Structure 1
Amino acid sequence: MPVLVVIPARYASTRYPGKPLVEIEGADGTKKTLIQRSWEAASSVKGVDRVVVATDDERISAAAEAFGAEVVMTPESNRNGTERTASALAALGDKANDYDIVVNFQGDAPLTPPWFVEDLIAALQAKPKDLMATPVLRTSEDALAAFRHDRTQGRVGGTTALMTNQGHAIYFSKEVLPYGGDAGIDATAPVFHHVGVYAFRPKALQKYLSWPEGVLEKTEGLEQLRFIENGEKVTCVEVDARGKHFWELNNPEDLQLIESVLKNEGAG
């Protein structure tokens, strides 16, 4: 099953303009842009045939090509990463038919372990009828505390996921859900951190572009809710962090945290 990884990146972020070009310092003092670190993380995933950066911005394109990435230019009208991933696939023309699985690897998540994506690919390979899969991570005490702290400070941190017993998403939110999760990680209903990576069948991306932006999607600012609003199943795959600290660069305040993780892990 040939796999394409797309890293959507836009300059005009509402919460953090210019985010893909922000420099992040590693353990050896080397500074690399967020988009480069995300590209390096995506390129370390096993079983992937091609990795491309999808953007509508010439500054991001130039930066990505400078460190050796392949770039696909996509429309400025793309409203989120899933739309941009779909546009990137379409831009490949006849080559788009070469891929059975397309991964949307978020350009603001350089701490994403490669096995998170490998687990998604394996899940779709094992279940041919599933159209898409996304990882969820059972929160640690520290991660749950970080979620709550962001909310008390009026910041949007990570996203949480609610699932059925069969592992299909019920809802995603930027609030800490379920409310009962405040009892801690040993509560009956633990809090699951949604990791913003998606593995799609190409036809799932085609469907996505055919639907209008959903009310819940727009309210929460979460692109994956469009699938739920249109009655499509979103398969959640619980992944194991294996002791690694996962967090996205959502706000400027997250930069220091990500740099500290890279330095603790000895990542250059």
Structure 2
Amino acid sequence: MRARLPQPTLIVIPARYGSTRFPGKALATLDGKPIVQHVYERACQAALPDWKVVVATDDRRILKAAHGFGATAVMTSRTCKSGSDRCAETAQYFPAYPVVVNLQGDEPFQPSFNIRLAVRTLLSSACPVSTLAARCPVKDLQNPNVAKVAISKGRAIYFSRSPVPFYRDTQRSKAAKWFKHIGLYVFRRSFLVEFSKWRETPLEQAEKLEQLRILENGQSIAIAVTPHDSIGIDTPADLARARRMAQAERREVMELT
């Protein structure tokens, strides 16, 4: 059943400066713009009239850049351990929004279709949170920077940096379908605030994937499979790949015109 998109909805873009694998990546340039600006513009394309887009950061350099390209931006605590924690803190400033989207600040190619699909997925379920997945290419199965997800009946069963599921039967593995997790979450606001207070869980600490905290606490995550993939920028090598993608997109536009 196609759920109606809610109003109002808050899209939060958590963007911290001190990334472990790529410090300052939010301000790294892609096609002449900071990465965080690309994410903001994608969010604005998806937003309906009563939705609001906010950049949430712990660094004044990012705050200044966000204000420079016209974004609403807020300073959050440096003690936030995850993007969802930063979203929860930001949601406190905007209590009129019952649905909160965590649109990660390192996903400059996230299609607006995906953002709306994730919102619809939440509203058509009884789950407190939703997310997305896409088909995982075989070349990414062993890449620990690409989180994989096992899915059953529209629910996420497990997330891992390793390939899941493991196919013991070689013949079955030839026709196997693996899915990669797309870093986009939609929360019911009340659950987001509660979730941010929970302690880290053993599997979360092992995999370094915060969404496992939800599953380990017995909650369900609704998940939809999208045909539109997106890439996150976690390392300088990812940025180089993103720049090649941007160049390819420009060439396609020029050929069409």
1:187 Cα shift?
4.3
Alignment CA distance shift 1:126-1:20 (3 Å):
same
Answering whether residue 109 of structure 2 is matched by residue 114 of structure 1, we say: no
Equivalent position of 1:28 in the other structure: none
Residue 86 of structure 2: which of 67, 84, 87 is its match? 84
For 1:108, the aligned partner's letter is D
**Alpha-carbon distance in 2 for matches of 1:186, 1:119:** 29
**Alpha-carbon distance in 1 for matches of 2:18, 2:210:** 17
1:212 Cα shift?
0.6
**Alpha-carbon distance in 2 for matches of 1:199, 1:182:** 36
Residue 255 of structure 1: which of 216, 239, 247 is its match? 239
Equivalent position of 1:138 in the other structure: 135
Equivalent position of 1:19 in the other structure: 25
Alignment CA distance shift 1:57-1:255 (3 Å):
same
**Contact between 2:147 and 2:160, CA under 8 Å: does it hold in 1?**
yes
TM-score (norm 1): 0.85
**Contact between 2:98 and 2:190, CA under 8 Å: does it hold in 1?**
no
Alignment CA distance shift 1:202-1:235 (3 Å):
same
**Contact between 2:167 and 2:173, CA under 8 Å: does it hold in 1?**
no
Equivalent position of 2:58 in the other structure: 56
For 2:44, the aligned partner's letter is S
SS in 1 for 2:157: strand
SS in 1 for 2:164: coil
**Contact between 1:181 and 1:189, CA under 8 Å: does it hold in 2?**
no
Equivalent position of 2:3 in the other structure: none
Answering whether residue 189 of structure 2 is matched by residue 202 of structure 1, we say: yes
1:57 Cα shift?
0.7
**Contact between 1:181 and 1:187, CA under 8 Å: does it hold in 2?**
no
CA-atom RMSD in angstroms = 2.2
Alignment CA distance shift 1:54-1:216 (3 Å):
same
Alignment CA distance shift 1:131-1:185 (3 Å):
farther
**Contact between 2:134 and 2:179, CA under 8 Å: does it hold in 1?**
yes
1:24 Cα shift?
1.2
Alignment CA distance shift 1:182-1:78 (3 Å):
farther
**Contact between 1:181 and 1:190, CA under 8 Å: does it hold in 2?**
no
Aligned length: 245
Identity of aligned residues (%): 34
For 1:255, the aligned partner's letter is L
**Contact between 1:158 and 1:247, CA under 8 Å: does it hold in 2?**
no
Q: Which deviates further from its counterpart, 255-264 or 50-59?
A: 255-264
**Alpha-carbon distance in 1 for matches of 2:169, 2:246:** 29
**Alpha-carbon distance in 1 for matches of 2:111, 2:60:** 28
Alignment CA distance shift 1:247-1:42 (3 Å):
same
1:103 Cα shift?
0.2
Gaps of 5+ in 2: 1-5
Gaps of 5+ in 1: 26-30
**Alpha-carbon distance in 1 for matches of 2:67, 2:163:** 38
Answering whether residue 16 of structure 2 is matched by residue 10 of structure 1, we say: yes
**Contact between 1:181 and 1:191, CA under 8 Å: does it hold in 2?**
no
Alignment CA distance shift 1:189-1:12 (3 Å):
same
**Alpha-carbon distance in 2 for matches of 1:250, 1:182:** 33
For 2:139, the aligned partner's letter is A
**Alpha-carbon distance in 2 for matches of 1:161, 1:109:** 18
Alignment CA distance shift 1:209-1:235 (3 Å):
same
